[in-house]
A and B are shown apart, each in its own frame.
Chain A
Amino acid sequence: MSDIVLKEITKRFEEKTVISDRDFVFPGGKISSVMGPSGAGKTTLLMLIAGLSAPDTGEITGVPERLSFVFQEDRLCEDFNAVANVRLVTGKRIPDEEIREELLRLGIPEESLSQPVREFSGGMKRRVSIARAILYDPELILLDEPFKGLDEDLRRNVMDELLEKLHGKTVILVTHDPEEAEYMGGKIISL
């Protein structure tokens, strides 16, 4: 799997320059963590890699076709249940049973699986969004503060699940918590 390389990247929002002429390399098939204070452009960096936003200057190469993104906002279809939210991106490729198992492994209670996600707590929505990203079976996964709002036990559980399922894939994790970055392992990039 090829590395993701960003060369001489600059990104401005109106007058504010968020990223100024920077180079980044994210090793293919490995985990990298991006750290930095809020407002340093961590989310912007992920949006650029995902192709959802274009850099003002510079070049991005090595981004695979299939990628998932755990956005800071969960971006779920609130009227639908957790399984349907995953099926939105997987289609019929994955049987419902497998989706259900993944959601259970991420700690969604069985009785909640048939409820619309608008009734879910913030932490539960987070995990549905993570399940969706995992089951899409991406080559690259972008995680924007994915453990925010999860308590200590859940956080460990979710991190372990991610480590197991994303082994051998390119993972870019944005976090402000050094402990998370350390636990997930791999390269640490500061903004």
Chain B
Amino acid sequence: MKKTFWYRALAVLIALLIWQAAAMAVGNKILLVSPIAVAARLATIWREKGFFSTVLYTMARILLGFVLALAAGVLAAVAAGRFRLIEYLLWPYVITFRSVPVASFIILCLIWLNFSQLTVFIAFLIVFPVIYANVLQGVRSTDPKLLEMAELYKVPWYRRFFYIELPSIRPYLLSACTISIGMAWKSGIAAEVIGVVTGSIGGALYQSKIYFETADLFAWTIIIVILSVLTEKAFLWVLRRAFAGMERV
């Protein structure tokens, strides 16, 4: 475990050195900016006016889209698990969300919606099918003998959900959340870039393209990755705590 960590750290260091060497060989900070320049930019970028409001703008919308998709996905999957008809009715939407390119949806949303809803909607569209498919699989994996027991004892649906279905959904839900938070960030920001949403992270990325500020592009990218990892960890922590709390009741 510890050994792996050091090997990985060493590999990252080597990669950074290669990047630095390549940047020096190219000698053009628009084409390839050096890691040192990116680090320097990172140190100053967050002190600029509007940085936190930009981050907050995008983060709030991505998380809102994610949470809405999570709630809708779980509800839809539980309903579909119980009634085949609902699964069939939802099928065309799920297939569409999954197979249509995000870019098409983004353009369509730009026609339908205003800028401030765009990120929320795109994050929702991307996350919903992932949550739905995984949770449905979890519902399907619920032990039929436990469900039979619940039927015999006439357990009301909310208690059956809480005690029997939720525990079997849990591992599927956790892995679906892990995958989809990252996807929500990527697609949400892609939407902001295409829509040129001012005051958003995607908007900032677009600005760096216009002004050939490659250091800004890299700095923002690193910030996005950090935010994505942090929100993923924080959300999973909350979810695990919630599950652990439930077991203690």
Contact = CB atoms under 8 A, between A and B. Distances in A.
Interface stretch (A10-18, A84-92, A101-109, A161-169): A84-92
Interface in B198-249: 247-249
A68 B154 CA distance: 10
Contact of A84 (B151, B155, B156, B249): B249
Contacts of B153: 68, 88-89, 132, 136
B146 interface: yes
B155 A89 contact: yes
B247 A79 contact: yes
Interface residues of B, number: 17
B145 interface: yes
B43 interface: no
Given A69-B152, A88-B153, A89-B155, A75 B145 contact: yes
B166 to A, nearest CB: 9
B64 interface: no
B164 A73 contact: no
Given A79-B247, A84-B249, A88-B155, A73 B145 contact: yes
B82 interface: no
A81 B167 CA distance: 13
B149 A69 contact: yes
Contacts of B247: 79-81, 84, 116
A50 interface: yes
A71 B143 CA distance: 14
Interface of B: 145-146, 148-153, 155-156, 159, 163-164, 167, 247-249
15 contacts: A50-B152, A52-B148, A68-B153, A75-B146, A77-B163, A77-B164, A77-B167, A84-B249, A88-B150, A88-B155, A88-B159, A89-B153, A91-B156, A132-B153, A136-B153
